[in-house]
C-alpha cells in the first residue's frame, strides 16, 4: 500500500478540526501555492482556534498513525504558539498555529475559500484567500522568520497569478492597518498590477 501524500495527511487533520468544531484554515506555503506558483514544501501550515477542551479528543483521534504530544499541544495553546503533528509512516509534518484570533486573523477565517485540496478526494478545506495570504506573508517577511526570499517569491507568485481577481481595496485597507502599505505597493508595482 502506498504512503499517503502530504495533502492526504493534511486532509486527515482538517477532518479532525471539522469534527471537533475548531475554526481553522490552511495558510503558509500551501495556500500561496494554491493561489500562485508551485514550489516544494515539506509541511502544511494550519491556523486553528484550538482550546484546551479540544486537545484530548484531537490527540486520541490521531494516535497511532500520528505522533501528537498532548503536553506540547496544551502548551502551544496556552501561549498561542505553534505545535506539530507528524504522520509516522510517511514522515509528513503538519504545523498548527494555535491562535486566539485578532481582527486580521478573524477576517482571514471568515474569508477563507473552500478548496478541493487533493482530487479525487472530494473533501473541501478552508484555505486563506489570495489577498490574506499576501498580507500574512508580508507580515512574516517583516518579522524576519529566516525565509524572506521564499515569502517574497510566494507573494509575487500569488499577485501575478491572481492579478485580475484580487480585491485591492481589501488588501490596501488591511495593509494600512498592519503598517504594510509600503511593501505591498512596491510588490504590486513589480507585479505590474494596475491601480484600482
Is residue 94 within 8 A of residue 46, CB to CB? The reply is: yes
- In degrees, to the nearest 5, what angle opens at C-alpha 82 toward C-alphas 109 and 63? 95
| Per-residue confidence in pLDDT tens, the chain, 196 aa | 578 999 999 999 999 999 999 999 999 999 999 999 888 788 999 999 999 999 999 999 999 999 999 999 999 999 999 999 999 999 999 999 999 999 999 999 999 999 999 888 899 999 999 999 999 999 998 887 545 778 889 999 999 999 999 999 999 999 999 999 999 999 999 999 866 5
Identify the pLDDT of residue 195. Answer: 64
Which pLDDT belongs to residue 30? 94
**DSSP-based three-state secondary structure for 126:** strand
Q: Which residues 6+ apart lie within 8 Å of 11 measured at CB?
A: 117, 118, 121, 123, 125
pLDDT at 146: 47
Confidence (pTM): 0.93
| Rounded Cα distance, 17 and 176, in Å | 32
pLDDT score recorded for residue 148: 73
Q: What's 87-105 look like in SS3?
A: ECCCCCEEEEEECCCCHHH
Amino acid at each position: 500500500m502506498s504512503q499517503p501524500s502530504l495533502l492526504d495527511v493534511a486532509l486527515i487533520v482538517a477532518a479532525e478540526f471539522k469534527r471537533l468544531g475548531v475554526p481553522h484554515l490552511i495558510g503558509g506555503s500551501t495556500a500561496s501555492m494554491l493561489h500562485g506558483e508551485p514550489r516544494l514544501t515539506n509541511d502544511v501550515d494550519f491556523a486553528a482556534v484550538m482550546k484546551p477542551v479540544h486537545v484530548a479528543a484531537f490527540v486520541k483521534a490521531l494516535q497511532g498513525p500520528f505522533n501528537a504530544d498532548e503536553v506540547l499541544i496544551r502548551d502551544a495553546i496556552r501561549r498561542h504558539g505553534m505545535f506539530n503533528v507528524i504522520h509516522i509512516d510517511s514522515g509528513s509534518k503538519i504545523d498548527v498555529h494555535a491562535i486566539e484570533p485578532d481582527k486580521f486573523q478573524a477576517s482571514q477565517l471568515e474569508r477563507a475559500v473552500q478548496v478541493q485540496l487533493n482530487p479525487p478526494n472530494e473533501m473541501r478545506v478552508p484555505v486563506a484567500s489570495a489577498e490574506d495570504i499576501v498580507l500574512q506573508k508580508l507580515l512574516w517577511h517583516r518579522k524576519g522568520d529566516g525565509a524572506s526570499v521564499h515569502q517574497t517569491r510566494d507573494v509575487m507568485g500569488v499577485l501575478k497569478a491572481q492579478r485580475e481577481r484580487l480585491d485591492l481595496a481589501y488588501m490596501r485597507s488591511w495593509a494600512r492597518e498592519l503598517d504594510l502599505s509600503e511593501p505591498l505597493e512596491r510588490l504590486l508595482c513589480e507585479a505590474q498590477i494596475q491601480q484600482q
